[in-house]
Amino acid sequence: GVPAGLGEPVFDKLDADLAKALLSLPACKGFEVGSGFAGATMRGSEHNDRFVRRGGRIRTDTNFSGGIQGGISNGEDLVLRAAFKPVATILRPQRTVDVRGRPTILAPKGRHDPCVLPRAVPIVEAMVLLVLADHALRQRADVG
Protein backbone atom coordinates (compact mmCIF):
# COMPACT_ATOMS: atom_id res chain seq x y z
CA GLY A 1 0.00 0.00 0.00
CA VAL A 2 0.86 3.65 -0.28
CA PRO A 3 2.03 5.22 3.00
CA ALA A 4 -0.82 6.87 4.89
CA GLY A 5 -0.90 10.65 5.01
CA LEU A 6 0.14 11.65 1.48
CA GLY A 7 -1.97 14.46 0.05
CA GLU A 8 -4.02 17.34 1.35
CA PRO A 9 -7.74 17.69 2.06
CA VAL A 10 -8.45 20.60 -0.30
CA PHE A 11 -6.04 22.09 -2.86
CA ASP A 12 -3.38 19.40 -3.21
CA LYS A 13 -5.53 16.28 -2.99
CA LEU A 14 -3.63 13.14 -3.93
CA ASP A 15 -6.43 11.90 -6.19
CA ALA A 16 -6.69 15.28 -7.94
CA ASP A 17 -2.94 15.34 -8.62
CA LEU A 18 -3.06 11.76 -9.92
CA ALA A 19 -5.97 12.68 -12.20
CA LYS A 20 -4.12 15.73 -13.50
CA ALA A 21 -0.97 13.73 -14.17
CA LEU A 22 -2.70 10.88 -15.96
CA LEU A 23 -5.13 13.03 -17.92
CA SER A 24 -2.08 14.99 -19.13
CA LEU A 25 -0.91 11.89 -21.01
CA PRO A 26 -1.67 11.83 -24.73
CA ALA A 27 -4.81 9.81 -25.54
CA CYS A 28 -5.88 9.49 -21.87
CA LYS A 29 -9.56 10.43 -21.69
CA GLY A 30 -10.74 8.96 -18.40
CA PHE A 31 -9.64 8.44 -14.81
CA GLU A 32 -11.20 6.92 -11.72
CA VAL A 33 -10.06 5.95 -8.23
CA GLY A 34 -11.37 2.97 -6.27
CA SER A 35 -14.96 2.15 -7.17
CA GLY A 36 -15.00 5.22 -9.42
CA PHE A 37 -18.19 5.77 -11.37
CA ALA A 38 -19.64 2.47 -10.13
CA GLY A 39 -19.54 3.95 -6.61
CA ALA A 40 -22.09 6.55 -7.66
CA THR A 41 -24.75 3.82 -7.74
CA MET A 42 -23.97 2.57 -4.21
CA ARG A 43 -25.41 3.74 -0.90
CA GLY A 44 -23.07 5.38 1.59
CA SER A 45 -23.59 2.45 3.94
CA GLU A 46 -22.35 0.10 1.20
CA HIS A 47 -19.48 2.27 0.00
CA ASN A 48 -17.92 3.27 3.33
CA ASP A 49 -14.56 1.59 3.96
CA ARG A 50 -14.94 0.43 7.56
CA PHE A 51 -11.74 0.60 9.63
CA VAL A 52 -10.80 -2.61 11.47
CA ARG A 53 -7.85 -3.89 13.48
CA ARG A 54 -6.09 -6.65 11.54
CA GLY A 55 -2.64 -8.10 12.20
CA GLY A 56 -1.85 -5.42 14.75
CA ARG A 57 -2.61 -2.65 12.25
CA ILE A 58 -5.57 -0.45 11.49
CA ARG A 59 -6.83 -1.33 7.99
CA THR A 60 -10.05 -1.09 6.04
CA ASP A 61 -12.13 -4.18 5.38
CA THR A 62 -12.93 -2.94 1.85
CA ASN A 63 -11.14 -0.52 -0.46
CA PHE A 64 -13.92 1.25 -2.37
CA SER A 65 -12.02 4.51 -1.85
CA GLY A 66 -9.02 3.12 -3.73
CA GLY A 67 -6.63 3.95 -0.91
CA ILE A 68 -7.47 7.66 -0.83
CA GLN A 69 -10.03 9.27 1.49
CA GLY A 70 -10.64 13.00 1.57
CA GLY A 71 -7.66 13.60 -0.73
CA ILE A 72 -5.24 11.81 1.61
CA SER A 73 -3.82 8.28 1.27
CA ASN A 74 -5.06 5.91 3.97
CA GLY A 75 -2.33 3.24 3.80
CA GLU A 76 -4.32 0.80 1.67
CA ASP A 77 -3.45 -0.23 -1.88
CA LEU A 78 -3.84 2.52 -4.45
CA VAL A 79 -6.49 1.42 -6.95
CA LEU A 80 -6.98 3.55 -10.06
CA ARG A 81 -7.92 3.16 -13.68
CA ALA A 82 -7.09 5.24 -16.73
CA ALA A 83 -8.94 5.00 -20.04
CA PHE A 84 -7.28 5.67 -23.38
CA LYS A 85 -8.99 6.52 -26.65
CA PRO A 86 -8.18 4.53 -29.78
CA VAL A 87 -5.42 5.89 -31.99
CA ALA A 88 -6.62 8.46 -34.51
CA THR A 89 -4.17 7.55 -37.28
CA ILE A 90 -5.50 4.46 -38.97
CA LEU A 91 -4.25 3.09 -42.27
CA ARG A 92 -7.64 3.50 -43.90
CA PRO A 93 -8.70 6.56 -45.91
CA GLN A 94 -11.00 8.86 -43.93
CA ARG A 95 -13.32 11.59 -45.15
CA THR A 96 -12.65 15.07 -43.79
CA VAL A 97 -12.45 18.69 -44.96
CA ASP A 98 -9.44 20.85 -45.78
CA VAL A 99 -8.69 24.30 -44.30
CA ARG A 100 -11.20 25.89 -46.70
CA GLY A 101 -13.95 23.46 -45.73
CA ARG A 102 -13.85 21.47 -48.97
CA PRO A 103 -14.32 17.70 -48.76
CA THR A 104 -11.11 15.70 -49.02
CA ILE A 105 -9.71 12.31 -48.12
CA LEU A 106 -7.05 11.83 -45.45
CA ALA A 107 -4.91 8.79 -46.30
CA PRO A 108 -2.02 8.41 -43.85
CA LYS A 109 0.99 6.29 -44.77
CA GLY A 110 3.82 4.84 -42.72
CA ARG A 111 4.15 2.86 -39.53
CA HIS A 112 1.71 3.74 -36.77
CA ASP A 113 0.94 1.97 -33.51
CA PRO A 114 -2.44 0.23 -33.72
CA CYS A 115 -2.93 0.57 -29.94
CA VAL A 116 -1.39 2.76 -27.23
CA LEU A 117 -1.86 0.17 -24.49
CA PRO A 118 1.60 -1.50 -24.54
CA ARG A 119 3.26 1.90 -24.14
CA ALA A 120 0.62 3.31 -21.79
CA VAL A 121 1.11 0.85 -18.91
CA PRO A 122 4.72 1.77 -18.02
CA ILE A 123 4.01 5.46 -18.64
CA VAL A 124 0.99 5.41 -16.29
CA GLU A 125 3.04 3.58 -13.64
CA ALA A 126 5.85 6.16 -13.97
CA MET A 127 3.43 9.10 -13.68
CA VAL A 128 1.81 7.61 -10.58
CA LEU A 129 5.24 7.11 -8.99
CA LEU A 130 6.22 10.72 -9.80
CA VAL A 131 3.07 12.04 -8.12
CA LEU A 132 3.61 9.79 -5.07
CA ALA A 133 7.27 10.88 -4.81
CA ASP A 134 6.22 14.53 -5.06
CA HIS A 135 3.68 14.10 -2.26
CA ALA A 136 6.18 12.17 -0.12
CA LEU A 137 8.70 15.00 -0.51
CA ARG A 138 6.06 17.60 0.35
CA GLN A 139 5.06 15.64 3.45
CA ARG A 140 8.71 15.33 4.48
CA ALA A 141 9.21 19.09 4.04
CA ASP A 142 6.09 19.81 6.11
CA VAL A 143 6.76 17.36 8.94
CA GLY A 144 10.53 17.05 8.87
Residues 6+ apart with CB under 8 A from 111: none
- Predicted local distance difference test score (pLDDT) of residue 40: 94
- Predicted local distance difference test score (pLDDT) of residue 131: 98
Q: At residue 87, does pLDDT exceed 90? A: no
Residue 142 or 72, more confident: 72
- Predicted local distance difference test score (pLDDT) of residue 23: 98
Q: Which residues of 11-29 are buried (b: 16+ CB within 10 A; e: fewer)?
A: eebbbbbbbebbeebeebe
- Predicted local distance difference test score (pLDDT) of residue 130: 98
Query: What is the per-residue pLDDT across 11-64, written as a single tens digit (0 to 9) for each?
Result: 999 999 999 999 999 999 999 999 999 999 999 999 999 999 999 988 999 999
Structurally, how many domains does the chain consist of? 1
* 70 belongs to a structural domain: yes
* 7 belongs to a structural domain: no
* 33 belongs to a structural domain: yes
CATH number of the domain bearing residue 51? 3.60.150.10
* 2 belongs to a structural domain: no
